[in-house]
Chain A
């Protein structure tokens, strides 16, 4: 399940998390569904948090023949 989910973007994951919370709050969701949804949301939130924690800012200079820069490169220019 985790592998399957990892294709979708961070924003989509966040959106899905919100959806799940709404579904869980709805009276119409059965217990079994709720438990599945809850498991999914735990998985998603782990993924989201790990994305957030591992995130490193990427900077690309368009006019520099698409050369990728890092923060260090820019700071060295000072």
Chain B
């Protein structure tokens, strides 16, 4: 019976307390998996307002809780999305109060180049389907931008290139710099803040969002959804000049215009000052020619007028009329003269005839006339001796009164 109470073997056997066991597990796990790489697909990704990230990593057969602390996740160049395959570096930690274990990630990388490309394509498709790339939303660029906002790094080569293009092509514009980080921790928020800041200034005509060349990781901030949405929201037209000619980012698709490089963005944004000068000069010489030809036309018209027959011999018409008048006058005066002559002849003849019958001639020759009551007494029988008789002589009259 005693053997039932034989505890010889059991005296070697250790009885763990929960804490002891957990501590042992913690020790074993944390020692064993102190510095490992872990790959899987992200799910249930939750960025907390504290800045820490909580998510699961899973594959076909298993799932593990993961955490990535604020200070470390800021070095992740992309915002993780559910479904993205990543490689984490870190360790297993055990949290005794809750008896669970989790993976404490120190770094996160996409599981391969293809993974980033896939994330890029996913976002591109999503935004495309939402219409963010539609032509109808593309704002027209001002032909003569007065103030150009620049969203880029203050000490990047991109900024120097942009400034040199602006001072060569269009130095009358003003550059308003809203500097920002263009890669790494905080760059996404920084880019967004700069675009917002410029949009608060109502007089900015155009924004150039630029970054020099780099790897796909370096350019990744420009592939983030929130950057794309901020570009879409901007009231001011945005030209992107990101990376090299072959690099396309989501920002490029949303922007009102995509330029292949930062310098090209400024080239597109600004008119060439030399070209404007030439245009002004050729415009002026064109205007000058217009005035000249106008003057020439007027001069010709004037010349035509002053050389017209009428203008040259203004009295001709008058003279013609005069001649006409003269000749008709001549004709009529001739006729009149003739008529006068005939009348004259006729008058002379009458006069002569009259002379023949003139009483005075008879009286002169010695005949007398007898009048009674102022009437000639032509026959003897008409003479009334009882009345006064008047006798008319050539040289006078006498009256014989019989009473």
- Chain A residues with CB under 8 Å of chain B are 9-11, 14, 17-18, 20-21, 24-25, 31, 34-35, 37-38, 41-42, 45, 48-49, 51-52, 55-64, 69, 71, 74-75, 77-78
Contact = CB atoms under 8 A, between A and B. Distances in A.
Contacts of B197: 62-63
Contacts of A38: 287-288, 290-291
Interface residues of B, number: 37
Contact of B287 (A20, A31, A52, A74): A20
A45 B284 contact: yes
B287 A63 contact: no
B159 interface: yes
B287 A21 contact: yes
A52 B177 CA distance: 22
Contact of B144 (A14, A56, A61, A74): A14
18 contacts: A17-B283, A21-B283, A21-B286, A24-B290, A25-B290, A31-B295, A34-B290, A38-B288, A38-B291, A41-B287, A55-B273, A56-B167, A57-B173, A58-B174, A59-B174, A62-B176, A62-B178, A63-B197
Contacts of A52: 172, 273, 276-277
Nearest to B290: A24
A21 B295 CA distance: 16
B179 interface: yes
B166 interface: yes
Interface of B: 144, 146, 154-155, 159-160, 163, 166-167, 171-179, 194, 197-198, 201, 273, 276-277, 280-281, 283-284, 286-288, 290-291, 294-295, 298
Given A10-B172, A57-B163, 10 more contacts: A24-B290, A31-B295, A38-B290, A56-B167, A57-B174, A62-B197, A63-B179, A74-B154, A74-B159, A75-B160
Contacts, number: 101
Contacts of B171: 55-57
B172 A42 contact: no
A69 to B, nearest CB: 7
B172 to A, nearest CB: 4
B154 A77 contact: yes
A42 B294 CA distance: 17
Contact of A61 (B146, B163, B179, B288): B179
Contacts of A21: 283, 286-287
A57 B270 CA distance: 13
B290 A63 contact: no
Contacts of A77: 154-155
A57 B167 contact: yes
B387 to A, nearest CB: 105
A35 B283 CA distance: 15
B146 A11 contact: yes
B141 to A, nearest CB: 13
A61 to B, nearest CB: 5
Nearest to B297: A31
Contacts of B281: 45, 49
Nearest to A26: B290
A16 to B, nearest CB: 11
Given A38-B291, A45-B283, A63 B167 contact: no
A60 B175 contact: yes
Nearest to B168: A57
A48 B286 CA distance: 17
Nearest to A68: B174
A75 B171 CA distance: 17
A12 B280 CA distance: 13
Given A25-B290, A38-B287, A38-B291, A60 B280 contact: no
